[in-house]
Amino acid sequence: MTIAVFTFSLLGAMALGMPIAFALIVCGVALMSTIDMFDAQIVAQNVINGADSFPLMAIPFFMLAGEVMNKGGLAKRIVNVALVAVGHFRGGLGYVTILASCILASLSGSAAADAAALAALLVPMMVAAGHKKSYAAGLVAAGGIIAPVIPPSIGFVIFGVAAGVSISKLFLAGIVPGLLLGAGLCLAWWWVVRQENLTPPPRASFSEMVKAVVDGFWALMLPVIIVVGLRFGIFTPTEAAVVVAVYSLLVATCIYRELKLSQLYEVFVSSGLTTSIVMFLVAAALVSSWLITVSEISAQIVTLLKPFMGNNTLLMLAIMVVVVIVGTALDMTPTILILTPILMPIVKAAGIDPVYFGVLFIINNAIGLITPPVGIVLNVVCGVSRISMEDIIKGVWPFLIAQLVVLLLMVLFPGLVTVPAKWFAG
């Protein structure tokens, strides 16, 4: 009964056009009424407690860092470094996109911001080089979703808070899986460009390579600072977010000088607006999360999944299929907030490593950002590249399939995630 109330109240509120945050509160109120414990004070208290978390302070700083990097010239210099490194291969601009996506992912952690920056810079270049616009835009969108996987990741922060899992361990565990997603995109792009008869551009000279690396040195140092700082316990993930924001501000304003002091107000307002949306979602989700625990929905789900409980691989496959389906209709943040309190008791009961599950869960949610019909990143790239949704959906399929295959391999071979995670964690 409670599962039905939870599902239909949430979906019903969303179908009426209600924002996700308010739909989550409605869902919580419906559950409270069902178990006869409605109290408006409990709702208000859970909303306040939902945002009152030290680790969540990382979100506004990561949002700010993403805005600064895009407007301060850091993203542009990363693309230039990738261009001189792999731009001379056949279909070189595609590999540039993938490499730049991986590097940018280690700077901002926002899929939409990274995809927007790369779409503005690279899609016109790829079309001018003779590539189909649909494949160019599709590759940029697929590359953008590496951002929530390679640290710093806003998705890992939200999941870590919701699930009570170490955010530092999640960050370090996401490095290799993120790179594997990039490798999967490289294979898919190689398959796509085989069908195109294009002449590869000339190799950059040694002096051009040195110039690009020197120019992009300060941007390239940021992922090194983050990984070393987390690996050796110099700072926590929340403190890392502050380091990223301050460092990017200093580089953009004092070294590259592409971000003027007069633009700072606009940057702070933009990142503040985005942060407020995410934080209110997190706060509202605690209402339904608390009620999920009280009404024992997780225990009922565990009972339904008992046939899979003896085999962790089958259980993970079943969970991943559910998340893929949910991801086609919901954005990443609400999916994490809704499903985490339901799935974590199942994961713990089955003896699955919470960090391993968290990495696969975030990868799955990231893939949901490019699955139609919602696909937030698809919509962002459509707007920036001026391409129809129908065309970008056709172009993104080879890359979407490649990333789903990588996810499947991680389910079948957990060591792809757990072994490097243990090495990075020391």
b/e for 373-400, b at 16 or more Cβ within 10 A?
A: eebbbbbbbbebbebeeebbbebbbbbb
Residue 21: what pLDDT?
78
Residue 142: what pLDDT?
94
**pLDDT, mean of residues 382-408:** 90
Mean pLDDT taken over the chain: 84
CA neighbours within 13 Å on the CB side: how many for 169? 18
| Whole-prediction pTM | 0.80
Ranges 250-259, 275-284, 346-355: which has the least confidence: 275-284
Size of the chain in residues: 426
- Helix, strand or coil for residue 410? helix
Amino acid, single-letter form, for residue 217? F
Task: Indicate the helix (H) or strand (E) that contains 111.
Answer: helix 111-128
Ranges 123-137, 192-206, 247-261: which has the least confidence: 192-206
Check pLDDT > 90 for residue 278: no
Residue 299: what pLDDT?
66
The sign of the dihedral angle between the CA atoms of 234, 74, 126, 95 is negative
Check pLDDT > 80 for residue 159: yes
Which has the closest alpha carbon to 337: 7, 24, 10?
24
Check pLDDT > 90 for residue 143: yes
Ranges 65-74, 190-199, 285-294, 383-392: which has the least confidence: 285-294
Residue 15: what pLDDT?
79
Give the start-to-end residue ranges of the domains of the chain. Answer: 54-425
Determine contact, residues 146/155, Cβ cutoff 8 Å: no
Task: Indicate the helix (H) or strand (E) that contains 227.
Answer: helix 217-231
Check pLDDT > 80 for residue 176: yes
Q: Which two tokens stand for residue 53?
A: 């978390």
Residue 367: what pLDDT?
93
Residue 141: what pLDDT?
92
Tens digits of per-residue pLDDT, 362-380? 999 999 888 876 677 887 8
Whether omega before 152 lies within 30 degrees of 0, making that bond cis, reads yes
Query: pLDDT-based confidence at 121, cuts 50/70/90?
Result: confident
Residue 329: what pLDDT?
67
Check pLDDT > 80 for residue 306: no
Count other C-beta atoms under 10 Å from residue 235's C-beta. Answer: 16
The Cα 338–Cα 356 span in angstroms is 19
DSSP character at residue 143: H
Amino acid, single-letter form, for residue 137? A
Residue 220: what pLDDT?
85
Tens digits of per-residue pLDDT, 17-69? 887 778 878 888 887 887 777 777 777 877 777 677 767 777 788 778 878 87
**Percent above pLDDT 90 for the chain:** 22
Residue 175: what pLDDT?
92
**pLDDT, mean of residues 170-188:** 94
Task: Indicate the helix (H) or strand (E) that contains 387.
Answer: none
Q: Which two tokens stand for residue 338?
A: 């809704």
Determine contact, residues 275/62, Cβ cutoff 8 Å: no
